[in-house]
Structure 1
């Protein structure tokens, strides 16, 4: 399949909340509707300025000290950190001059100094929030619920950072969602599991369109984790909200495709199986940092490949390619009925 593509450069560093949009057919009771209205009044703060974007969203410029994050009881005494207190090497990026422009962000100076841009939350956003989190890590995927994953994952050591250049495609998704992401995680059960993931996804039921969207999500169950995009710091998840990610023991790069149980599963990444062409690599310049903050790359036998349905998706780790691409792997597949 031929898709337009850009390169998404993302980094998670130890030291991301996103807007979710959905359209559903479930009818809410009066009580549920009132509860959502109450949540919206609490979340959507009085803006200093509002911006109607060309993509149909309303972005509010909120006083940085009054942003809804500080409503969380654990952040009552939190002091905002504006700059990460660590140094890191500048990642290499491909020449993006011919790529489709990014749809992430606002024009420079759109929000006044001392404010932060926050996408105005809707009822649909609240209804969709759980849908994202339930599908974006390997432990959540299962052919029983119509979810399949392909990941390169590392475990059993402490990590302080993960990064990659992710090729952004726009596969056709009629039902379900498809994701390409990097993540950090810790814990092995629901009571102690914690995760941060970021990347791109296509989800018509979440965004009301068939386009590719940047996303970042975390479990709400102690160090700050910073998110950067194209070497620009986006923000961080406060340590107070991440009870066991001070020494995460799992990191990974890969994709998830989710469809209705026993139904059609959407494509992953480009929609094609890996073909060995380095120009088709989905993830390039993949790196991580260990507990000593040393930048490393995945090397055998310290990683594992998680491919739970090779009939529909596959992942091929190519290792080092060249100075521009670094360490790479290809991932993708057409989806379909996906028999076990």
Structure 2
């Protein structure tokens, strides 16, 4: 998701995305008919080649009740190792050290057979064996929704024609800390299933760890939960990861859709549905994320999900983040296409404003950063950022905050 760190002037800048459509050539002549046949064959070949690249041979496949297929792929044959910088990479199964103040429970090590503290529907029909990782299978319709096999799973900025006229914007409600070197962060985020108005709009709750300037050169590590029909084909809440090394221009992608991120956990699948959801005025569900740069090891950025060593971004993927991060953010983001010249009804978080408080508004708690002294501590001198508080807002309490909103309402036309 687009990173809102740094200067506020970017908040008014139009965020541009790519929407490509395949058009059939009219079959009014033999010549046109032959051209059309060739075009479709070429398109289908590209799709099949991309599917072969994305879907590695499975040692076991599990059909999820929600329609996903989870492939259990040999950990040594995962997509990460298609990256030219990782051809001779040696997999690390856990960080070599942890920051001061972090308590590590050996029972939650990735080598353990303990149940993950996150529920995904595919777990009902089986588990992946040791030595494999679960990967959500990419289907032909996933690539066709992207409009181009090459664009699938990537973010393309600055590429929508006439975006100024279309008025496409990204809107945020988040908490940010800057002004130090950062080697990681921790957060517990509330799990909801927000409504999205259009298939090309998304709603996300996530963290960002970043270094650099988005207008020049930006590295980010991101993860969280999202509803994004255009990417996943439904309106369920799904787990995601993302990274970029060049301000979203050419590098990086969602989940494992391009080589780079090395997964080591065999219990959790990125891109898969996360359930159950929080219930308004009732039971609340959360998901914990923890990121740490293993500075005493290879400098890799490790991601823990629900207290499990999920995997890592090798330091060699990055230029600026190979050293440290310069900012950390937590919060929500939505895309607003302004269909019918009105604000979107896409919800952020629970779809309710933070003023409604516990059990009703979405929240982040257990906020911590790993500072320049590699000490785990609470946020200091953090500040909130909102693009349109009448549509989505945030209330900060220091070590936790409430955020979100319904989008279009009488004060947000």
TM range, smaller chain: 0.7 to 0.9
CA contact (8 A) 1:223 1:242 kept: no
Distance, in Å, in 1 between the alignment partners of 2:172 and 2:56 is 37
Matched, 1:157 2:157: no
List aligned pairs for 1:1-340, cutoff 5 A. 26-27=21-22, 30=40, 31-87=42-98, 89-90=102-103, 102-103=119-120, 106=123, 110-126=127-143, 128=146, 133=155, 144-175=167-198, 176-189=201-214, 192-219=217-244, 220=251, 223-245=299-321, 246-261=323-338, 262-265=341-344, 266-275=346-355, 277-279=357-359, 280=361, 282-299=363-380, 302-319=381-398, 327-336=399-408
Cα offset, 1:118, TM superposition: 1.4
TM-score (norm 1): 0.77
Could you list the per-position Cα deviations for residues 243-277 of structure 1 after superposition, in whole angstroms to 9, with x for gaps in the alignment?
22131101100110113144442111111111163
Alignment partner, residue 8 of structure 1: none
- In 2 relative to 1, CA 144–132 (structure 1 residues): closer, same or farther, beyond 3 Å? farther
- In 2 relative to 1, CA 216–37 (structure 1 residues): closer, same or farther, beyond 3 Å? same
Could you list the per-position Cα deviations for residues 24-65 of structure 1 after superposition, in whole angstroms to 9, with x for gaps in the alignment?
993275344432321221222221111111221111121211
- In 2 relative to 1, CA 119–131 (structure 1 residues): closer, same or farther, beyond 3 Å? closer
CA contact (8 A) 1:133 1:217 kept: no
Q: Give 5+ residue unaligned stretches, structure 1.
A: 1-23, 92-99, 136-141, 320-326
CA contact (8 A) 1:163 1:182 kept: no
SS in 1 for 2:183: strand
Cα offset, 1:133, TM superposition: 3.9
Cα offset, 1:298, TM superposition: 1.6
Could you list the per-position Cα deviations for residues 70-111 of structure 1 after superposition, in whole angstroms to 9, with x for gaps in the alignment?
1111101211000111225249xxxxxxxx973277469722
SS in 1 for 2:177: strand
Alignment partner, residue 261 of structure 2: none
CA contact (8 A) 1:271 1:334 kept: yes
CA contact (8 A) 1:289 1:295 kept: yes
Cα offset, 1:311, TM superposition: 1.4
Looking at CA atoms only, which structure, 1 or 2, has the larger radius of gyration?
2
CA contact (8 A) 2:223 2:242 kept: yes
SS in 2 for 1:268: coil
Could you list the per-position Cα deviations for residues 183-239 of structure 1 after superposition, in whole angstroms to 9, with x for gaps in the alignment?
101111455211111111112222222221111111136831111111111111112
CA contact (8 A) 2:350 2:362 kept: no
Distance, in Å, in 2 between the alignment partners of 1:285 and 1:335 is 27
Distance, in Å, in 2 between the alignment partners of 1:307 and 1:131 is 27
